[in-house]
Amino acid sequence: MDKFALFQAIVARLETELALQTEAAHASRSEATDVDSRAEGKFDMRGQSAAYLASGQARLAGEIAEAIAAYRALPCRPFQQDEALAVGALATLETRGRRSVYFLGPARGGLDLEIEGIPITVITVASSLGRSLLGRRIGETVTLPSRGGPSTQVITHIE
């Protein structure tokens, strides 16, 4: 698999999220400072609510910008088959004939992408799966909680 294409897809998705979040923060800030948002009574909180929203959206935009910087700083290197999993690795896990591919990224876990027709989920070490995979090698198993009880998955491939 082309890991460079994966990195580009992740950064492109994050840049799209950043643009949307920045636009939303500007719109909320404009609403908060608009003359029509001034309180008409002591219980009117429109302006204050818009200001809180703008603050949260600006904070999220900052987190996304930091994630973009983290991905750009992450070396795009191939992992050897005998190498332990670390941030930047692409791992294939298998359970009951079903394969799942995960990319252990530095930030913004939960992104679902498709590269070369293969669905990939971005995870981080902040997730239970990410913590379970860190330092593991091909052939090792990880047991994860699932709806039907614990699920044991085997690491079958590392890139």
Q: For residues 111 and 134, give the distance between their C-alpha atoms in angstroms, rounded to a whole number.
A: 19
In SS3 terms, 49-79 reads as: HHHHHHHHHHHHHHHHHHHHHHHHHCCCCCC
Domain that holds residue 104: 90-158
Residue 109: which CATH number? 3.10.50.30
pLDDT at residue number 143: 87
List Cβ neighbours of 158 (8 Å cut-off, separation of 6 or more): 79, 80, 81, 83, 85, 89, 90, 91, 92, 137, 138
114-151 pLDDT, tens digit each: 999 999 999 999 998 999 999 999 999 998 877 777 88
Do 69 and 104 share a domain, yes or no? no
In a domain, 111, yes or no: yes
pLDDT at residue number 41: 65
> What's the mean pLDDT in 46-61?
80
Q: Which of 28, 44, 73 is the last residue of a domain?
A: 73
In a domain, 121, yes or no: yes
Do 96 and 154 share a domain, yes or no? yes
- Residue 22 vs residue 150, higher pLDDT: 22
63-108 pLDDT, tens digit each: 999 999 999 999 999 999 889 999 999 999 998 889 999 999 999 9
In a domain, 63, yes or no: yes
Residue type, 87: V
- How many CB atoms are closer than 10 A to CB 130? 18
In a domain, 83, yes or no: no
**Length of the chain as a residue count:** 159
In a domain, 59, yes or no: yes
Longest Cα separation, the chain: 68
Short-list 65, 63, 51, 72, CA closest to 8 = 72
Do 98 and 66 share a domain, yes or no? no
Q: List, in sequence order, every beta strand (DSSP E) within the chain.
A: 90-95, 98-104, 112-115, 118-123, 141-144, 151-158
pLDDT of 32 over the 90 cut = no
Do 99 and 67 share a domain, yes or no? no
pLDDT at residue number 126: 94
pLDDT-derived band at 37, boundaries 50, 70, 90:
low
Split into its structural domains, the chain has a count of 2
In a domain, 85, yes or no: no
At 159, is the secondary structure helix, strand, or coil?
A: coil
Q: Which of 38, 73, 108 is the last residue of a domain?
A: 73
Do 111 and 51 share a domain, yes or no? no
pLDDT at residue number 131: 93
Q: Which of 43, 73, 103 is the last residue of a domain?
A: 73
pLDDT at residue number 39: 60
